[in-house]
Amino acid sequence: MKVNIYYGGRGLIDDPTQYVLKKMTEVLEELRATVTRYNIFEQKSGIAMLANTLKDADAVILAVSVEWFGIGGMMQQFLDSCWLYADKNKLKRLFMFPVVVSTTAGEHEALFTLVKAWETLGGFTAPGITAYVENNVDFENNEAYKKLIEKKAEDVYRTISQKMAVFPSSYNPDANAGHTAATSIELTPQESEQLSIYVSDDTFVEQQKKDVEELSQLYKGFLAQDEEADRYEFIKEFKNAFIAPEDDFNATYLIRMTDTSRALVIEISGKTLNCKYGTAEKPDVTATTNRETINTITKGRATFQGAFMSSKITCKGDFKLLRKFDQMFRFE
């Protein structure tokens, strides 16, 4: 997977856009994507040639810094060169993720300009990052913002690797060419009419909400009983599936399950496995998912990496250790 980043700022040290791109690059490279960054301000005499660099890319990130108005002249020149010189057939299969960081007003207008320009070129657009930064030091030291940036980088990786479908636009009516179309539910005219009656009936809708709430509370009660009865749930499965690594491997995985109050701790030290419920002070990988996903993995119907790619598991920590997880646990 190859991701090209085109930075349209002036390259200032205190430009918060540089920080966002650095964090996104780190995550993408940890996921084994090849990231190539082009600073447009360094290519002033050859901006027209930058359009040729799109040929080998699977996706692009267009990043701009709004200092007073709009996307800036250098990014505009790059988009002009794409219109004049880029391979239009290639653009029709290329995702663009916008990154707009503003130190003044106007980040949303700049985002709209990037999206409209790329769709006019015929490409696909996906949600990116839009932010207003008043103080770049506070922004870079904010852990919540850091996690948001890392999560967006993971979404970029998933979107590209899974070739996610997008809705067609007036600029690109064939948007789903080469992409997986969403499956729709086919209804007969009678079923459609009956469904519309139900949806328009406020009493029916309210009753449905109450029923769902009651079932939810009942389900939570069952989960609480299961937690008490199955204190060692999944531990046996992990121990039976463990394949000791050949090298001197040490890692701690913490798996939080959102629909229970427990967290599964998997400690690997050489060829020794310790699996328990509890907490870990400094886990190398922290995963968040639900009980059903872990059950699916331990029954051999999915892999840890596959669940992560499908967004059923979110992770933070060392992504290299995340990839090694499936090598050490082989569930039948």
pLDDT at 253 exceeding the cut of 60: yes
Pick from 198-207, 285-294, 310-319: least confident: 198-207
DSSP-derived 3-state class of residue 156: helix
**Measured in whole angstroms, how far is the alpha carbon of residue 284 from the centre of its chain?**
20
pLDDT grade for 205, boundaries at 50, 70 and 90 = low
* pLDDT (mean) for 39-57: 89
DSSP-derived 3-state class of residue 196: helix
Q: Would you state the pLDDT for residue 274?
A: 93
Q: Would you state the pLDDT for residue 224?
A: 60
Q: Would you state the pLDDT for residue 61?
A: 97
Q: Tell me how many degrees the CA angle 14-101-137 measures, rounded to the nearest 5.
A: 35
Encoding tokens for residue 262? 């427990």
Q: Would you state the pLDDT for residue 222?
A: 64
Count of H-run helices and E-run strands, the chain? 12, 11
Q: Would you state the pLDDT for residue 229?
A: 52
CA–CA gap between residue 82 and residue 52 (Å, rounded): 8
Q: Would you state the pLDDT for residue 221?
A: 65
Per-residue pLDDT tens digits for 210-246: 777 787 777 766 666 655 556 678 898 999 999 988 7
Angle, in degrees to the nearest 10, between helices 16-30 and 143-161: 50
Higher model confidence: residue 332 or residue 4? Answer: 4
Out of 48-52, 84-88, 126-130, the most confident range is 126-130
Higher model confidence: residue 323 or residue 98? Answer: 98
Beta strand 250-257 with 263-269 is antiparallel
Higher model confidence: residue 55 or residue 7? Answer: 7
First to last CA, the chain: 30
Residues β-bridged to residue 263: 256
pLDDT at 265 exceeding the cut of 80: yes
CA–CA gap between residue 158 and residue 187 (Å, rounded): 31
CA–CA gap between residue 313 and residue 295 (Å, rounded): 13
> Could you tell me where in the chain the CATH 3.40.50.360 domains are found?
2-161
Q: Does domain 235-328 have CATH number 3.30.450.20?
A: no
Classify the phi-psi angles of 272: left when phi > 0, otherwise alpha if psi is within -120 to 50, otherwise beta: beta
The DSSP code sequence of 64-91 is EEESSSSS-HHHHHHHHHHHHHS-HHHH
Residues 6+ apart with CB under 8 A from 304: 287, 297, 313, 322, 325, 326, 329
Q: Taking the C-alpha atoms of 159, 161, 167 and 171 in order, what is their torsion angle to the nearest 10 degrees?
A: 100
* Mean pLDDT, the chain, integer: 85
**Measured in whole angstroms, how far is the alpha carbon of residue 79 from the centre of its chain?**
26
pLDDT grade for 87, boundaries at 50, 70 and 90 = confident
Cα dihedral 43, 46, 48, 49 sign: negative
Q: Are 133 and 139 in contact (CB under 8 A)?
A: yes
Per-residue pLDDT tens digits for 126-177: 999 999 999 999 999 999 999 999 999 999 999 998 887 777 777 665 555 4
Q: Which residues of 236-254 are buried (b: 16+ CB within 10 A; e: fewer)?
A: ebbeebbeeeeeeeebbbb
Q: Would you state the pLDDT for residue 126?
A: 92
Of residues 263, 255, 239, 205, the one with CA closest to residue 328: 239
> Could you tell me where in the chain the CATH 3.30.1050.10 domains are found?
235-328
Fold of 2-161: Rossmann fold (3.40.50)
Pick from 68-72, 205-209, 294-298, 316-320: least confident: 205-209
Q: Would you state the pLDDT for residue 173?
A: 57
